[in-house]
């Protein structure tokens, strides 16, 4: 079945540092890939997405590129802020059969940014 | 309302009791999902509805868990004879007909089984 693996957390950075959160996946066909974010006290919300190989999703200074050859969708930001402190989830949407429509999530990575 | 609404936000129950969790999706959204988030774990898929039918029930952990959706809107997740390992945050999300994968999540129902 489909699966998503994220780098172990938690991740602690100083403000303006560079961020990478690794995400790899296992899936048949051509899944769509997503990053969701959960800020403290809030529900999960979509951060960015990519629907086909080599697509780059971007939002709020975050970027991720859909790499089919390495089955990866790593999240990056050049300069993090304290307000980026949150839990980040990588997710995959299946393309066929009973997988269609189902989002499979990774285990989440806690990011804490200090001033 | 404008967003996905879940109730109750907090539920404490005794082992062996039944609980019902409710989800009111965004108006017009035909896709509805239930996930479970345990401490230190990711989001565990439970069940997915398209309209009133559930094409994928594969994530329900046991036959103590059931879910229904009526009128293509409100959904109820029922856990019978609760166990301590059922303690978690139960999240509901809805998506539009195109089901692009962009889901809108509620804030969850935190269940504690004593």
Kindly report, residue by residue over A28-55, the tens digit of the pLDDT.
888 999 999 999 988 899 999 999 999 9
State whether A42 and B4 contact (CB < 8 Å): no
**Cα maximum dimension of chain A:** 47
Distance, CA of B84 to CA of B78 (rounded, Å): 15
The SS3 assignment for B89 reads: strand
Q: Kindly state the helix (H) or strand (E) to which residue A36 belongs, with its residue range.
A: strand A32-38
Write down the residue that tokens 């790593």 correspond to.
A74
Mean pLDDT of chain B: 91
- CB-based contact B103 A46, cutoff 8 Å: yes
Residue B25, chain A, CB below 8 Å: the answer is no
- Is the pLDDT assigned to residue A97 strictly greater than 70? no
Nearest to A108 among B4, B33, B42 (CB): B42
pLDDT at position A81 over 80:
yes
Q: Are A34 and A58 in contact (CB under 8 A)?
A: no
Alpha carbon of B6: minimum distance to chain A alpha carbons (Å): 11
Q: A77 has which bridge partners?
A: A19, A62
Rg (CA), chain B: 13
Q: Tell me the average pLDDT across A56-62.
A: 97
């Amino acid at each position: 079945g489909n699966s998503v693996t994220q780098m172990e957390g938690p991740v602690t950075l100083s403000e303006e540092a560079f961020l990478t959160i690794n995400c790899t996946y296992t899936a048949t066909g051509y899944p769509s890939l997503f990053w969701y974010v959960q800020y403290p006290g809030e529900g999960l919300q979509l951060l960015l997405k990519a629907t086909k190989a080599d697509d780059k999703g971007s939002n709020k200074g975050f970027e991720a590129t859909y790499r089919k050859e390495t089955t990866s969708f790593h999240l990056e930001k050049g300069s993090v802020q304290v307000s980026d402190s949150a839990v980040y989830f990588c997710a995959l949407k299946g393309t066929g059969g009973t997988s269609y429509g189902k989002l499979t999530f990774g285990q989440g990575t806690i990011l804490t940014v200090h001033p | 309302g404008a967003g996905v609404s879940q109730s109750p936000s907090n539920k404490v129950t005794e082992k062996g009791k039944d609980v019902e969790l409710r989800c009111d999706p965004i108006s017009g959204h035909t896709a509805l999902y239930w996930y479970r988030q345990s401490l230190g774990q990711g989001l565990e898929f439970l069940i997915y509805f398209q309209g009133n039918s559930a094409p994928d029930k594969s994530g329900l952990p046991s036959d103590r868990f059931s879910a229904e959706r009526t009128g293509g809107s409100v959904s109820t997740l029922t856990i019978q004879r609760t166990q301590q390992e059922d303690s978690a945050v139960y999240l509901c999300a809805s998506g539009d007909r195109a089901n692009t994968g962009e889901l809108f999540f509620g804030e969850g129902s935190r269940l504690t089984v004593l």
